[in-house]
């Protein structure tokens, strides 16, 4: 239940925000992999750690940009950026990074499981 108006962002602000958010997701992916790999966290605690990391990432994002993370998605839709080449390139860049990271850890992951 949203109680405040969505802040309208420019295309440039949205693209910058998406880059920062995608980078944060990628870093979180790597961090979670390390948590599991080193078994520093009990399996049942992983979801709690993920939630805490998400809150911290959202706070860092706001502190860096002055933009609430929840304002980005509505602006993507408002500006129809799903079809924008620059936007798609940012998403694809981080998808590739993630895929490459997971591929590089495939054998290690199999050994863990």
- Please check the confidence at residue 65 and state whether its pLDDT lies above 70: yes
- Determine what percent of the chain is predicted with pLDDT higher than 90: 56
42: left (phi over 0), alpha (psi -120 to 50) or beta: beta
pLDDT of the residue at 109: 63
pLDDT of the residue at 17: 96
- Please check the confidence at residue 76 and state whether its pLDDT lies above 80: yes
Give me the mean pLDDT over the 77-93 stretch.
96
pLDDT of the residue at 32: 81
Q: Give the predicted TM-score (pTM) of the model.
A: 0.82
Report which of residues 101 and 48 the model is more confident about: 101
pLDDT in tens, 4-19: 888 999 999 999 999 9
On whether the CB atoms of residues 2 and 73 are closer than 8 A, the answer is no
For residues 85 and 91, give the distance between their C-alpha atoms in angstroms, rounded to a whole number: 10
For residues 31 and 89, give the distance between their C-alpha atoms in angstroms, rounded to a whole number: 24
pLDDT of the residue at 110: 64
Largest interatomic CA distance in the chain? 49
On whether the CB atoms of residues 110 and 52 are closer than 8 A, the answer is no
Which range has highest mean pLDDT (1-10, 45-54, 72-81, 97-106)? 72-81
Could you tell me the CA-to-CA distances from 29 to 22, 33, 39, 63, 101 in Å, in that order? 10, 6, 15, 21, 9
| Domain assignments of the chain as residue spans, ordered by start | 21-108
pLDDT of the residue at 61: 93
Phi and psi at residue 58, to the nearest 5°: -65, -40
């Amino acid at each position: 239940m949203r109680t405040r108006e969505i802040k309208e962002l420019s295309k440039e602000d949205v693209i910058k925000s998406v880059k920062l958010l995608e980078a944060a997701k990628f870093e979180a992916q790597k961090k979670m992999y390390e948590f599991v790999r080193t078994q520093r966290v009990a399996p049942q605690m992983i979801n709690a750690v993920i939630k805490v990391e998400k809150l911290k990432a959202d706070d860092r994002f706001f502190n860096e940009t002055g933009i609430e993370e929840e304002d980005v998605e509505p602006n993507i839709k408002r500006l129809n950026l799903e079809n924008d080449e620059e936007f798609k390139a940012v998403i694809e860049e981080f998808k590739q990074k993630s895929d490459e990271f997971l591929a590089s850890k495939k054998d290690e992951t199999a050994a863990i499981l």
